[in-house]
Amino acid sequence: MQTAVLAKVVPNLEHLRFDPECRTMIRDGTEQFINPFDQRALRVALELRRPGETVSVVSMGPPGAEAALRDALALGADRVLLVSDPMLAGSDTLVTARVLARALSLVGHDLVLAGAWTTDSETGQVGPEVAGLLGVPVVTQARKLTREDPGSLFVRSDTDDGWADYLLQSPALVTVGEKIAKPRRPTPDELSAAGSRSVEIVRATQLGLSGASVGLSGSPTVVSTLANEEPGRSPKRFQDGPVESRVAQAVEALRPLLSTAVEPEPSGGEPDGPAKDENELWVLVTGPSGTLSGDALPILSEVRRRLAPLWPSAVWIGPSPTAGDREALARAGALRGAIVPLPPAPVDPEVAALALGTLLDHRPGAAAGAFVASGFGRTVAGLLASREGLGLTGDAVGVERDASGRLIWRKPSFGGGIIAHVYSRTRPSLATVRSGAFRTEPGPTPGEPPGLPWEEIEPPAARSRAVLLGSGRELDERFAEPASADVVVCVGMGIGGPEKIGLVLESTRRMGAALTGTRRVVDAGWLPRQLQVGLTGRSYAPALAILVGVSGSLNHLVGWKRARAVLAINNDPAAPVLERVDVGIVGRWEEVLPPLAEALAPSLGALRNAPG
């Protein structure tokens, strides 16, 4: 089995600077290295390699990426190809996938491995897009990968609520997540031993590509602007005096923030006259189980509330929705529905993408389509975009219409402090939407029987090529659902260890709050992956977020951008988090959190009874 690894060279985001005038990132003097998720993929490939087999690395990037890619040679890769050409500048994910798919033809690739994400542009869609172009099955977010003779692969994949096991026949593509292996950089001796070997440079013309088909000219999505949109908070710090005094001052500082009702966002109004296909924005509202995804409801609400004359339509793939499902969708804002009936079994992303292709044949004029930015949603969206040649914006946190009526998706980039404003040259414009980015608001008045016309779409005559062997849930009943909580506590590595989680939970329950964690906490196994907040996790919009022992990287804080107020507890007065929140308390969290929970109770009670 010949294995190819897709790798991207990324900058160190902690030292990356933003030029507000040019709206570009300043990379000069910034350390660059192979994306950590791709490092994991390479490590897995090398461990799977048997005598006589090869592991090749394929990358696309500027000439400066060559130095970082030498790490792959030092670690044991047989070949490293870098597709580098000035005409590739400005390529979006679909063009990148096309270039990588062409480059893979130069190396053996019974198995293609890639990182599930890159740290500089969280989309999770290039892997599925490459799979769609190659015409091979794909499994994403693998946490375990083994070879099963003859020519088959066992994959255990992370899902939104646990895990799923698959059996794949090569050729196939698998993206790997954080749990599968530790990323590794080569030692000085390994670098020295690889000194005589070189990275192969490939030009776009060698792949049969022209300037019109790549770069900005060939990309279906375009970044119109980049904006520095770090949360605009004015931090107040309390670090002197007894703990009780610091807590009292912090609560007083929070009180006006918590008592201020959220202003309702402007309503876009209702569509003028009968809904038309060209104004439709459909939303895939089901997940891999073929049942309603609660994270899809806020997307419908956002379209109904803000984007008139666009109007929201629900797309259901799976067994027919119940009466309760139909009512929930109508109350969230859906004005029409489409059902692709499938038997009561897990929905394969490849089958779902084919079903949506059929929907596009029925409704070719739709303005846009949206997906929940889950593992399932990203995979379906990537497969659909690559097969239909559509622009896909990944991990959107906002959407609006510009003066010309063009749809603009807003997505975090470069660690979350920078927001890219993206539009698509294709119709429909596709996007995956980060969970928690929007809120659900009822459409029809409660008590009115909502009417929602449904159209049935014939399901595709396709069978899953990734055989599902089994799945399981890993949700811990101790933890409340953060999306519906007024107060959310988030723990970082600074709490001291997994044995401290129980102590944090005591205060969390006292406040009626939910518990979440940073990526490092989840990586260490202290909390389940479903509770991770940040660039590669989820976003939440509680009234109050309390960060306990969190360092404060932008990658993490992007997950709290929509919180009404953010408070941090940290023992280190120099911790960056204290400069990026509304209120900071310096002190040992074990001494601060319990009295804080008690002192906040009156404010939180008023908050729960307040309008907005």
Secondary structure of 550-573 as H, E, C letters: CCCCHHHHHHHCCCCEEEEEECCC
Class of domain 230-262+475-609: alpha beta
**CB-CB contact of 398 with 383 (8 Å):** no
Tell how far CA 67 is from the center of its chain.
29
pLDDT given at position 17: 63
Residue ranges of E strands in 442-486: 454-456, 466-473
Residues of the chain with CATH 3.40.50.1220: 230-262+475-609
pLDDT given at position 608: 46
**CB-CB contact of 368 with 423 (8 Å):** no
- CATH number (3.40.50.620, 3.90.400.10, 3.40.50.20, 2.40.110.10) of 277-465 reads 3.40.50.620
Cα gap 442→456, rounded to integer Å: 25
pLDDT given at position 195: 85
Sheet of strand 336-341: strand arrangement: 392-396, 429-433, 368-372, 280-284, 311-318, 336-341, 454-456
Check: CATH 3.40.50.620 for 3-219? yes
pLDDT given at position 16: 63
pLDDT given at position 605: 59
Place of tokens 């019974």: 110
Cα gap 198→487, rounded to integer Å: 54
Q: Give me the chain's average pLDDT, please.
A: 88
Cα gap 486→545, rounded to integer Å: 9
Paired strand residues for 313: 282, 336
pLDDT given at position 368: 96
Which segments of the chain have a pLDDT < 70? 13-29, 121-122, 229-232, 260-276, 414-417, 440-451, 475-477, 536, 603, 605-612
Question: CA of 136: how far to CAs of 176, 387, 466, in Å?
Answer: 16, 12, 10
Place of tokens 């794949």: 168
Q: 564-591 burial by CB neighbour count: b if 16+ within 10 A, else e?
A: bbbbbbbbeeebbbbebbbbbbbbebbb
Model confidence, pTM: 0.86
Within 52-185, where are the H helices?
A: 65-75, 93-104, 126-134
Which DSSP letter does residue 401 get? Answer: E
pLDDT given at position 263: 47
Burial class (CB in 10 A: 0-12, 13-18, 19+), 389: exposed
pLDDT given at position 477: 66
Residues of the chain with CATH 3.40.50.620: 3-219, 277-465
pLDDT given at position 446: 47
pLDDT given at position 603: 67
